[in-house]
Structure 1
Amino acid sequence: MDTRVEPSPSSEEPLPAAFAPLVEEYARHLRLQRGLSPHTVRAYSGDVLGLLRHLQRLGLDSLDGVTVRALRSWLAREQTRGQARSTLQRRSAAVRVFFTWAQATGRVATNPAAGLRSPRKERSLPPHLAQAEAVAMLERAGPSPTGAANPAMVEAVGPRRLAIERRNAALLETLYATGVRVSELCGLDLDDVDTQRRLVRVVGKGDKERSVPVGVPALRAIERWLQEGRPVLEAGASGAAVFLGERGQRIDPRV
């Protein structure tokens, strides 16, 4: 087992003369010229101090001998010490800013950090509803989205309230069945719904069009909305929009 302990800052050897004033001068630049917050100044200054310590361990005593390979070795060392990817990204940014400043102020002839890339950001799947949560959400949307509205139901809740509940149920059923974006769902036109092939045609980012399969429960909910809800809310501004707001216009994704 490796029992070596990283020395604390107080037990480190003094920085080489060319390195010693750099951290404070860089911090002053961040505060006065870049206007960064005290927290960011401390973080960036600490990152640069850690880099200079690493360069010292490599036997370097001036910035002129620093290469992008030396910078990468520092980031690799930090990664092996268990630093989070977000921390490594911040340290990469701090080093790039530092060497840009050092070159602009004549402290180094070339910028070795120009070719330094930040570690890629971790990508994770978005959170999703459990089946029980989805069922509960659909039940709260109103009466059964697939059951026909009888006169007693219409009289009890009112035609507009029933129409809105039909719409909300169809929206939720379609979102759950297809996984499309809310903006894509709100942008559906009547001819985008293909009940025969069980598809909806959506236009996404970059105006890219794609067809998405949709399940039978969602199609039934859409049909109920189109038959019993949409005619109640329909107005001159409705156009070909599938889903309408309370004033009859295409529903806003922010609703």
Structure 2
Amino acid sequence: MAVYAIGDIQGCYDPLRRLLDLLRFDPAADVLWLVGDLVNRGPHSVEVLRLVHGLGERAVAVLGNHDLTLLAVAAGQVKPKRKDTFHSILDAPDRDELMDWLRRCPPLHHDAELGFTLVHAGLPPQWDLALAQRCAAELAATLRGPDYQQFLAHMFGGEPRRWRDDLSGYDRLRFTVNALTRMRFCTADGALSFAEKGPPGSQGPDLLPWFAVPGRRNADLNLVFGHWASLGYYRVPGIYALDSGCVWGNRLTAIRLDEPGVPAWSVPAHNLPPALA
């Protein structure tokens, strides 16, 4: 059995199929870890959802910010933006089945035996694994609960930017969403910043990539994540960044987690229509 992790797909179904062929992925034996953002901006989001959903327990997909936005749009809590490409899902006959499956995807997945932790964007520097798992479980329970639509109406927003142990209610859940699915840079004391989307070095002098904050409490983990296309495929001890910008016309990347020393695989976006800027 092989365990592969794949970066942000964002509706790029054809590159995903080519990458699975390159990996010689066996759905009867192998496992896929997916960093989230299965949907949006690319041309074939519903096909991606159907493929991953159809793999059942052979696929582990964590929620990304675009996946959560889709849930909010499907629940009627927000309107889609001009750049969003949710229409194929919203008009699909199996829409309800796919949305029910998607909101039951976890925000975080940890495999102690394998030695890897999967999230979409990262972990804030104040969180160790136990706290990250607790906050992710609270978010998962809310999304799977009967009042999930009410939460989706309060999910968006940039505050609070800094973790506090006494956060509660929607503030606590919103920080969890922003940390796990939107974070790139933060201050040295862990305040999240969302305006900067460029590569490390492009940010202001008071900001650091979240994984470069001194004293980060989760530095002992092997973290697999995506979300940061301008960072691209980036691999240093404990950090495995896999968003190589397929939807922007670049590449879709995979690594093998059960044999982490082997080189990565990637396929070009090829004939994908240019993504909207």
TM-score w.r.t. the length of structure 2 is: 0.21
- More strand by proportion, 1 or 2? 2
Greater C-alpha Rg:
1
Larger helix proportion of the pair: 1
TM (norm. structure 1) is 0.22
